[in-house]
Every structure is written in structure tokens, then in C-alpha cells.
């Protein structure tokens, strides 16, 4: 699992690449993650990619029902826009 600094840096890079390629991933729905994960994020005040990028790994991992599997799903979605190392 990547360290906190890598998560934020990689996520920011993914957004830059997506923006340059005109992908619309500012909305969580357009990122390609499931509705259950979107609902989990939204119930914790994460409504878009900006909100997500402001969170630390510890913040995400402390949410109820968010664990390693959900982190993998998130990284898988981000890897569509930029390579994310494990």
C-alpha cells in the first residue's frame, strides 16, 4: 500500500493527466468507482475529487466500512489516469 505522501501526489498527478486529456473526473461518479463507495464518501463529506484529495490516508481508513479493499478500488480507478505504484 502506498504511503500517505504517495497517495496525495499520485492522486494529484492523476487529476492533472485527466484534465489534460479532458476526462471529467471531478465528480466521483465519473471516476469509475461503485455507488456504494460513492455513498460512503458522501456520507463522510467527500462529494467530489477536491474533497477526496484533501483527506489523508488516515482519514479515509478511519471511516466506517472503508478498508484496504476500498483503498484498492480507489487506486484502481485512479490508475486509469496515471500509474499508481503498489
22-40 burial: b if 16+ Cβ within 10 Å, else e = ebebeebeebebeeebbeb
State the pTM of this model: 0.69
Q: For residue 80, with 0-12 CB atoms within 10 Å meaning exposed, 13-18 middle and 19 or more buried, which class applies?
A: middle
Residue-range domain boundaries for the chain:
4-78
Give the model confidence (pLDDT) of 13-28 as tens digits.
777 776 666 666 667 8
Please give the Cα distance from 79 to 68 (Å, whole number): 16
Task: Give the class (CATH, top level) of 4-78.
Answer: mainly alpha
Which of residues 18 and 45 earns the better pLDDT score?
45
Q: Mean pLDDT, the chain, as a whole number?
A: 78
Look at residue 62 in the predicted model and tell me its pLDDT: 96
Look at residue 75 in the predicted model and tell me its pLDDT: 82
pLDDT greater than 60 at residue 85: no
Amino acid at each position: 500500500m502506498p504511503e500517505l505522501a504517495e497517495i496525495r501526489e499520485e492522486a494529484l498527478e492523476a487529476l492533472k493527466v485527466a484534465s489534460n486529456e479532458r476526462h471529467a473526473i471531478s465528480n466521483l461518479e465519473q471516476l469509475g468507482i461503485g455507488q456504494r463507495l460513492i455513498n460512503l464518501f458522501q456520507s463522510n463529506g467527500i462529494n467530489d475529487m477536491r474533497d477526496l484529495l484533501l483527506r489523508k490516508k488516515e482519514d479515509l481508513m478511519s471511516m466506517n466500512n472503508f478498508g484496504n479493499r476500498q483503498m484498492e478500488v480507489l487506486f484502481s480507478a485512479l490508475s486509469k489516469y496515471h500509474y499508481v505504484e503498489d
